[in-house]
Amino acid sequence: MADYFRERRYLGARDRREISRMVYGTLRHGRQLDQLVQIACRQLPVPVDFTPPELSSLLVAAHEMHIEPGGAAETSAAPAEYISSSLAGKLPPEFPEILLACRIPADLLGSPLTRIAMVHSFPDSIIREWIERMGAEEAEELAASLNRQAPLAIRVNTLKGTVDQCRQLLAAAGVDSVKGTCSPFALVLSKRLTLENLRPYRDGMFEMQDEGSQLLSLLVHPQPGMTVIDACAGGGGKTLHLAALMQNRGRLVAIDVDDRRLRQLAERAARAGANVQIVLSAQRDSHAIARLRGKAHAVLVDAPCSAIGTVRRNPSLKDTYTEERSVQLNARQGQLLDAGAALVMPGGRLVYSTCTLIQKENEDVVSRFLAGHPEFSLQSSAEILTRWGIAVDRSSPYLQLYPHRTGTDGFFAAVMVREEGSV
């Protein structure tokens, strides 16, 4: 979609919003829409094969008819206008009415699990886990929240100024904002915009970052003068936050396996005025990593995961999730946590985090790690965040953010401390 817009700069803001709405809406509700299209096609006198673009056209049509009816659906031309003219030769003229009249069969909605999974277009295995964890009613609230558009949150770079100063600069640029409800460094913007057009962004005054993501850096609780390692830095959103919290004093090391993303981090760090040592997790930098062993006051392991907590921003993640892949990620996450633990000094802190809501990639990884590393003990995330004036659920030692409760993306984090005197 970004390429489509880039090649068609003549499209106005209204056209871009409408296209985005249809594309994201169709992806969010893909499972339900696919079922409706299948039901409609079974009523055709002769089976029809569709090309991928033709099938996409039918899914968008089903979305506009069943999920977000409006616009042309209220005119005399609807619903036929939603179906590409290229399908006119394949489908009978009454097909739009057939599709509009389709309903999901009752046998596919018979249990809470199958109904929630179909209506909100999630894999059965995810909904099953959420029902077992929180009950059907709240599981549906969570699924529904992940199908809504995420708010546009930013993190103010305190190396460049305060939250109030950033808000004033945005207002001068014509962008209204309100203070976040979770992170003390967050602002929520009133509208979507092109960042490169904003002077405050070009000057490094802020970064795009979900409020929940901002809390992960606060759990690291870095202090000026410390040695802090972001062991899975990626593009560096959390790294830059750590630099600001450390006031650019101390040693901050960013490690990742992806050289391309580290180059992006270097560019972002320069814009933010952040001092970061960048290390590629590869043979050429293996000695640099070895020299860090047991030297860090704090290590953040923001592990690769199935990212189900960010479905609001990337709805296609629902289609790529499998239980088999979650098992593979579980093994890799454990390896990364072991590697991160080796860098922590006695008395130091190890933070494990993901942006998924799957127990196998969260609690199970931490439990296995603690069983094999008795020198580490679990700490209360809520107590740490209280020091920042942030109130979260205190019923668990973990930080668990659910979009329907907090308005953030979904996150999990565990804080572990290495005992003094351990080797």
Confidence label for 270 from pLDDT (cuts 50, 70 and 90): very high
152-208 and 211-418: identical CATH topology: no
Check whether the bond before 79 is cis (ω within 30° of 0). yes
Which CA distances in Å does 106 have to 103, 168, 300? 9, 54, 47
Its pTM stands at 0.92
Q: What is the pLDDT of residues 49-83, one digit of tens each?
A: 999 989 999 999 999 999 987 644 443 345 566 67
Which CA distances in Å does 326 have to 48, 128, 334, 359, 401? 36, 15, 12, 10, 19
DSSP, res 348: E
Instruction: Check pLDDT > 70 for residue 27.
Output: yes
Range with lowest mean pLDDT among 67-71, 126-130, 173-177, 241-245: 67-71
Confidence label for 87 from pLDDT (cuts 50, 70 and 90): confident
The predicted pLDDT at position 282 comes to 64
**128 in helix, strand or coil?**
helix
Question: Are residues 183 and 244 in contact, defined by beta-carbon separation less than 8 angstroms?
Answer: no
- How confident is the prediction for the chain on average, in pLDDT? 92
Q: What is the mean pLDDT of residues 401-412?
A: 97
Neighbour-count burial for 365-396, b at 16+ CB within 10 Å, e otherwise: bbeebbeebebbeebebbebbeeeebebeeee
Which CA distances in Å does 195 have to 170, 204, 207? 11, 11, 9
Q: What is the pLDDT of residues 349-361, one digit of tens each?
A: 999 999 999 999 9
Count of H-run helices and E-run strands, the chain: 19, 12
The residue behind tokens 């979305």 is 63
30-34, 88-92, 191-195: range with highest mean pLDDT? 30-34
Residues pairing with 411 in the sheet? 401
CATH architecture of 211-418: 3-Layer(aba) Sandwich (3.40)
Q: What is the pLDDT of residues 383-402, one digit of tens each?
A: 999 999 999 888 999 999 99
Instruction: Check pLDDT > 80 for residue 198.
Output: yes
Give the total residue count for the chain: 423
123-132, 196-205, 257-266: range with highest mean pLDDT? 123-132
The residue behind tokens 């040695």 is 227
> What are the sequence ranges of the domains in the chain?
2-104, 111-145, 152-208, 211-418
Q: What is the pLDDT of residues 325-355, one digit of tens each?
A: 999 999 999 999 999 999 999 999 999 999 9
DSSP per-residue codes, 55-100: HHHHHHHHIIIIIS--GGGGSTTTTGGGS-GGGTTTS-TTHHHHHH
Q: What is the mean pLDDT of residues 197-201?
A: 91
Question: Angle, nearest 10°, between helix axes 259-272 and 237-245?
Answer: 40
Measured between alpha carbons, how far is 408 from 210 in angstroms, rounded to an integer? 7
CATH architecture of 152-208: 2-Layer Sandwich (3.30)
**Which residues are annotated as catalytic?**
355
In three-state form (DSSP H/G/I as H, E/B as E, the rest C), the secondary structure along 182-229 is CCCCEEEECCCCCHHHCHHHHCCCEEECCHHHHHHHHHHCCCCCCEEE
Confidence label for 284 from pLDDT (cuts 50, 70 and 90): low
